[in-house]
Amino acid sequence: MSETELYAKVTAQGDKIRELKAAKAEKDAIMAEVNALKQLKLQYKQATGQEYVPAGTVKKEKPKQEQKGPNAEKAAKKEAQKLAKKAKAEAHKNKEQKNAPVENKSQQKQAVVDDGSDCAEGKYGKLPMINSAVLFDRDLVNVADLGAKCAGREVWLRARVHNLRIQSAKLGFIVLRQQQSSIQCVLAADGKTCSKQMIEYVNTINRESLVDIKAVVKKSPEAIKSCSQQDVELHVTEIWVVSAAIPNLPLQIDDAQRSEADAVKEGLASVGQDVRLNNRILDLRTATSQAVFRLQGGVCALFRESLSDAGFVELMFPKIIPAASEGGSNVFKLNYFKRSAYLAQSPQLYKQMAIAADFEKVFSVGPVFRAEDSNTHRHLCEFVGLDMEMAFRYHYHEVVKQIGSTFIDIFRGLRDQYSKEIETVYKQFPNSEFEFCDPPLILNFSEGVKMLQESGIDQGEYDDLSTPNEKALGKLVKAKYHTDFYIMDKYPLEIRPFYTMPDPANPKLSNSYDMFMRGEEILSGAQRIHDSEFLAERIAHKGVDIAEVQDYVDAFKYGCPPHAGGGIGLERVTMLYLGLSNIRSSSLFPRDPKRCTP
């Protein structure tokens, strides 16, 4: 916005206020417009360096009245004596200064700073509330983009006050934080751009307040190890509080992003899980949390990219359904216009219907609900499901290979595109780098059972793997094959859902598979039964009321291609890729049996 346009806006806003006052408008309405006027005037001053003065305003000086009468001559004589005395004193002062030793530059600068004037007046303070009264044209830089190449540039930026350290009345330091990035700012009272009054004001700003800073980028004399931008610092010339934080925070960001090892070693505080989750907004500001959820966004993006490149179509499936998705009791029941409905445990049945409708290759990203009273490190009542389904030609391994390839695309993309985020997380939660092989390792269930039994672990041939056995097998696979990701095929039929296709060579097994990361399951999938009559038989065998899934069964009466697929838990993939100890660290606002807030 040009200076002329801004001037016109201030003038128009003033006219508007006068009209409201003349109309005797409500006080609140008038004050709202007054606040907008203050903001416009401040923006005008920042843009032009001058105060706004209404057109036609002339500063008038009160004329001195000429004395008349008998005392006029006496007053004139007295005034002349006063001027002569002042001139004599000035001459004496000049003579003393001429004979005095010359001060060095720093002493001269000090004299300027200490004269009590405020050279930075109008360049610091609290901005009026930004209520979109004016569209202000100003480029704000990102902290992450500031480096040695920017030295000498004058920049504006908006960031949070992470730390504040005032060393004296004339010197202070601020660490500003912007997502994962941080930079040191210097305030040095020089009598030109920064004053003691500015530093005194800055000392009143609370941590976590949002500020606008105008500063000159300068190379740092030594590496600033406490900041992400280590080779430069900002020399502040203006600072404005955009949004102030309260003085007493329920947790400190430094404490929340400190590793347990450092906390013990240095005898400093760390923050427990419940405190984090109860104050999630602050906890999500830490560099670690920022990194976790940016990487999690990357998992979604890479999942979509990999499947889209392979010809898949993204579809959106309903989350309110007439019957339990998988025939179980772990569902959230709700009242749906005087009849019962449920929150979807999985988009499974609808993915299959989409295949029957000739979409051939489909995927979906959306919430999944499980009413499981499980208070473990890896279970949630609501999570994000990354689901896919695919028609195949002759063998379900066509789908297994596609899913395996998608995982490899995700792992490779995370490694190559999110190295900064991974490094940030490992600073607080140290772990080994995630390993994978291409193509991925595929083991039969029987091979996994044999590995466990040979290591002395009790595992039945047709029993499902317990959580401890899954973890033990993950360690055995890592030691033997040097991979944190693997696929296990041919699970026992009796431990799989009703829609799973039996193995034609062994009726005790099935055409089903699970996939694992660091010894924990992250996907369960299978070839689905696509024949309606055989599906009805399996439903009866599992003891499911066919009336509850009749629409699903009917979808296969009109001819359906053979197909398979699987579902991935986004939060679990994030947790295990980074080696986090609890899934709540990778869920933005976790929902479990004990938590439904914030």
Look up 461 and say whether it is catalytic: no
Which candidate in 235, 294, 379, 595 is catalytic? 379
Give start and end residues of each alpha helix (H) in 169-322.
Answer: 196-202, 253-256, 260-266, 273-278, 280-283, 287-309
Look up 510 and say whether it is catalytic: no
Look up 379 and say whether it is catalytic: yes
Look up 370 and say whether it is catalytic: yes
**What does the alpha-carbon distance between residue 283 and residue 257 come to, in Å, rounded to a whole number?**
8
**What does the alpha-carbon distance between residue 222 and residue 238 come to, in Å, rounded to a whole number?**
24
**What does the alpha-carbon distance between residue 279 and residue 275 come to, in Å, rounded to a whole number?**
6
Residues β-bridged to residue 336 = 339
**What does the alpha-carbon distance between residue 75 and residue 240 come to, in Å, rounded to a whole number?**
51
Q: Which of 46, 197, 171, 193 is nearest to 118 (CA)?
A: 197
Helix (H, G, I), strand (E, B) or coil at 475: helix
Q: Which residues contact 344 (CB under 8 A, 6 or more apart)?
A: 317, 318, 319, 320, 321, 325, 368, 369
| Residue linked to tokens 């004589």 | 77
Pairing verdict, β 339-343 and 361-369: unpaired
**What does the alpha-carbon distance between residue 19 and residue 222 come to, in Å, rounded to a whole number?**
58
Token pair for residue 173?
């330091």
Which candidate in 207, 563, 572, 584 is catalytic? 572
Which candidate in 521, 528, 530, 586 is catalytic? 521
Strand ranges (DSSP E) for 69-153? 124-126
Residues β-bridged to residue 397 = none
**What does the alpha-carbon distance between residue 155 and residue 440 come to, in Å, rounded to a whole number?**
49
Which candidate in 370, 496, 538, 584 is catalytic? 370
Give 251's DSSP letter.
S
Give 548's DSSP letter.
G
Which candidate in 360, 372, 520, 548 is catalytic? 372
Look up 372 and say whether it is catalytic: yes
Residues β-bridged to residue 382 = 369
Q: Which of 442, 437, 365, 444 is nearest to 408 (CA)?
A: 437
Which candidate in 158, 160, 378, 518 is catalytic? 378
Q: Which of 506, 474, 466, 472 is nearest to 490 (CA)?
A: 506
Residue 439: cis peptide before it, omega within 30 degrees of 0:
yes
Q: Which residues contact 297 (CB under 8 A, 6 or more apart)?
A: none
Q: Which of 418, 141, 445 is nearest to 299 (CA)?
A: 418
CB 417 within 8 A of CB 463: no
| Sign of the four-CA dihedral 280, 282, 288, 289 | positive
> What is the rounded radius of gyration, in angstroms, for the C-alpha atoms of the chain?
36
- C-alpha separations of 117 from 112, 191, 192, 238, 464 in Å: 8, 8, 11, 17, 79
Which candidate in 220, 259, 446, 524 is catalytic? 524
If phi > 0 it is left, if psi is from -120 to 50 it is alpha, else beta; for residue 247 that is alpha
Residues known to be catalytic: 370, 372, 378-379, 521, 524, 572
